[in-house]
Amino acid sequence: MISLGGPQEETDILMNEVLFKQLNNLKTEQRNPNTQDIDLDDALNIAKKINNEDQKVAEAVSEKLPQIAQAIDWVAQALSLGGRLLFFGAGTSGRLGVLDAAECPPTFGTKPEQVQGFIAGGEAAMFVAQEKAEDQDDIGIADLNMVFPTQADVVCGLAASGRTPYVHGALRRGMELGCKTIFITTVPKQQLTISPDLVIDVPVGPEVIMGSTRMKSATAQKMVLNMITTGAMIRQGKVYENVMVDLMLTNAKLVERAKRIIMNFSSLDYKAASKVLEQANGHVKTALVMALGGKSKEQAELLLETHQGFIRKALKSQN
């Protein structure tokens, strides 16, 4: 007779069986019929098969543009009211959230606390997988509580499988507190066991390598994140025409980029652009209004403040 052990062991076995069934039903965990012979291919055919599958990702994302637009509006509104965008994910999904958050300050001049990324397992998980950390919803709850969320914040969960306990914990806590909640996943919405305010489900189908969600699933999530944060920043006036003009001049490359931006939009040469940028204390938007509107630093700052940072509106008001 085989003993199943004590009550805890029996409980663990039942939970593992449930998890097995969940994973067995996920499209991302199925074998891809288009790549079943990839282990026999040469390098060129491997690249072709991966590329063929990647092309399907953009098509899948395009089916969710209305939901992505809703997310853009929510995040833009949150930021304008002093709220924050808070990403929560595990593994590859978590790293994508942290990456997107980290890129916002140098690209759009946001404060670091405005867009934040949290990954199961903490900072160490960015470099070395901390696999078990994602299995605990209470860690997700604790990570969200740590930043004292309010109803002005947007909590965005990222999970390719749609089932990550860490992410569910953060989302459920956000829902309890009245935050706007968004869930980005690459399985169909019907497979989810959680109901946040907005689901952006981008079913990308089986991966090139079964279960390797660092591939198509990650690409889909990265595309959606790019749209949401970039769209929200555009709605915050951080882009003039199609140029990022609220960048932080944290290195020599960005300083030179700022001068080039001023020169592209105005008739100033390199020396004059450098001078107006210096007069604007390195603030590109102020420098542009000074150069294009013939304004002093103080006048340019007032115009931008009056028009919520939008350069077009600031310049148009003077015509």
Residue 71 pLDDT: 98
* SS3 label, residue 270: helix
Q: Are 161 and 189 contacting, i.e. CB atoms less than 8 angstroms apart?
A: no
Residue 299 pLDDT: 95
Alpha helices in the chain (DSSP H): 7-25, 43-62, 65-80, 91-108, 137-145, 165-176, 216-234, 252-265, 270-279, 284-293, 297-306, 311-316
Q: How far apart are CA 120 and CA 164, in angstroms?
A: 10
Residues 282-297 pLDDT 10s? 999 999 999 999 999 9
Catalytic residue (one of 103, 241, 298, 301)? 103
Catalytic residue (one of 134, 241, 298, 301)? 134
Residues 11-31 pLDDT 10s? 555 555 555 555 566 667 788
So where are the chain's domains? Answer: 55-234, 239-316
Residue 2 pLDDT: 45
Residue 261 pLDDT: 96
> Per CATH, which fold does 55-234 belong to?
Rossmann fold (3.40.50)
pTM attached to this predicted model: 0.86
Find, among 154, 155, 29, 27, the residue nearest to 89 by Cα: 155
Q: At what angle do helices 252-265 and 284-293 cross, to 10 degrees?
A: 20
Q: pLDDT class for 168, splitting at 50, 70, 90? A: very high
- Structure-block tokens of residue 108: 């759009």
Q: Are 10 and 4 contacting, i.e. CB atoms less than 8 angstroms apart?
A: yes
Please give the DSSP secondary-structure letter assigned to residue 243.
Answer: E
Residues 273-284 pLDDT 10s? 999 999 999 999
Find, among 309, 308, 306, 129, the residue nearest to 288 by Cα: 309
Handedness of CA 221, 223, 226, 227 (dihedral sign): negative
Architecture of domain 239-316: Orthogonal Bundle (1.10)
* 103 carries an active-site annotation: yes
- Per-residue pLDDT, averaged over 218-246, amounts to 95
Q: How far apart are CA 88 and CA 141, in angstroms?
A: 10
Q: pLDDT class for 5, splitting at 50, 70, 90? A: low
* 134 carries an active-site annotation: yes
